[in-house]
Amino acid sequence: MRTVALLLLLAAGAPALSAQTPAGPSSTYPTYPTGPTGREAMKAAARSRAQSGDFEGAIRIYKQVLAMYPGDLEAQIQLARVLSWNREYGASISLYQEILKGSPHDAEALEGLARVYAWAGRLEQALETYQTLLADHPPNSGYQLEAARLEFALEDYAATRDAVASLLSTQPENREARLLLARLDLREGRFPNALKQFDQLLEQNPSDPEALHGKAQVDYYQGRLGEAYEIAAKLVNENPNDFDDVFLLANIERARRDRYGALALLDRAERLSPANPDVEEARDKVEWPFVLHTTASFAREIGHPGPADVGSFSSEDLRTSSFGTTLELGALPRSDSFLSLKYLPVSSPSGGIRGAAAPSEFAYRQATRLASFLTVRGGAGLVRFGPGALENVPGQPAPVSTATIRPVGFAGMSLSPRRDFSLDFGWSRSAIDSTPLSVRLGVVESRLEGGLNFSPDPRTELHLSYFKAKYCSASYDHASIVNPGGTIQTAVENRADRERATGGSVVFNRNLVRSDRVSFDLGYSGLAYGYKSEGRRVYLGFFDPNLYQRHLVTTRLYGKLWGPVGYHFSGGIGLQQVRQRQALTRGVILNPALTFKASRRLSLRIGYVHYNFAQALGPISGNAVQLLSDFKF
pLDDT at 289: 83
Angle between helices 73-85 and 107-119 (to 10 degrees): 10
**Residues 218, 296 share a domain:** no
The answer to whether 78 and 113 are in contact (CB under 8 A) is no
**Where on the phi/psi map is residue 119: left (φ > 0), alpha (ψ -120 to 50), or beta?**
alpha
Which CATH number is 141's domain given? 1.25.40.10
d(CA 156, CA 148) in angstroms, rounded, equals: 9
**Residues 593, 516 share a domain:** yes
**Residues 187, 298 share a domain:** no
**Residues 328, 198 share a domain:** no
Domain count, the chain: 2
**Collapsing DSSP states into helix, strand and coil, what is residue 580?**
coil
Question: What is the per-residue pLDDT across 550-576, written as a single tens digit (0 to 9) for each?
Answer: 999 999 999 999 889 999 999 999 999
Tell me the pLDDT band of 519, cut-offs 50, 70 and 90: very high
**Is residue 304 pLDDT above 80, yes or no?**
no
**Residues 327, 194 share a domain:** no
Strand partners, 293: 326, 630
**Where on the phi/psi map is residue 174: left (φ > 0), alpha (ψ -120 to 50), or beta?**
beta
d(CA 40, CA 528) in angstroms, rounded, equals: 77
* Residue at 508 is within a domain: yes
Which CATH number is 435's domain given? 2.40.160
Question: What is the per-residue pLDDT across 349-360, written as a single tens digit (0 to 9) for each?
Answer: 877 788 999 999
Residue 77, φ and ψ in degrees, nearest 5? -65, -40
* Residue at 417 is within a domain: yes
* Residue at 274 is within a domain: no
Top pLDDT among 393 and 482 is at 393
Top pLDDT among 59 and 580 is at 59
State which residues form the domain around 191: 4-223
Among the listed residues 297, 315, 313, the one whose alpha carbon sits nearest the alpha carbon of residue 305: 315
pLDDT at 535: 52
**Residues 219, 367 share a domain:** no
Q: Per the confidence metrics, is the pTM higher than 0.75?
A: no
**Residues 201, 300 share a domain:** no
Question: What is the per-residue pLDDT across 260-290, written as a single tens digit (0 to 9) for each?
Answer: 899 999 999 999 999 888 998 888 888 888 8
**Residues 301, 216 share a domain:** no
The answer to whether 410 and 377 are in contact (CB under 8 A) is yes
pLDDT at 350: 78
d(CA 14, CA 123) in angstroms, rounded, equals: 17
**Collapsing DSSP states into helix, strand and coil, what is residue 596?**
strand
**Is residue 138 pLDDT above 90, yes or no?**
no
Tell me the pLDDT band of 8, cut-offs 50, 70 and 90: very low
Strand partners, 335: 368
Question: What is the per-residue pLDDT across 381-396, written as a single tens digit (0 to 9) for each?
Answer: 999 999 988 888 887 8
Q: Which of 171, 192, 223 delimits the end of a domain?
A: 223
To the nearest 5 percent, what fractions of the chain are helix, strand and coil? 35, 35, 30
Tell me the pLDDT band of 239, cut-offs 50, 70 and 90: very high
* Residue at 107 is within a domain: yes
DSSP for 508-575, written as a single string: EEEEEE--SS-EEEEEEEEEEEEEEESSS----SS---S-EEEEEEEEEEEEEEETTEEEEEEEEEEE
**Residues 490, 377 share a domain:** yes
pLDDT at 494: 87
Cβ-based neighbours of 356, under 8 Å, separated by 6 or more:
345, 346, 347, 348, 436
**Is residue 13 pLDDT above 70, yes or no?**
no
* Residue at 267 is within a domain: no
- Mean per-residue pLDDT for 85-95? 93
Window from 1-15, 247-261, 309-323 with minimum mean pLDDT: 1-15
Q: Which of 205, 223, 241 delimits the end of a domain?
A: 223
Among the listed residues 500, 482, 490, the one whose alpha carbon sits nearest the alpha carbon of residue 536: 500
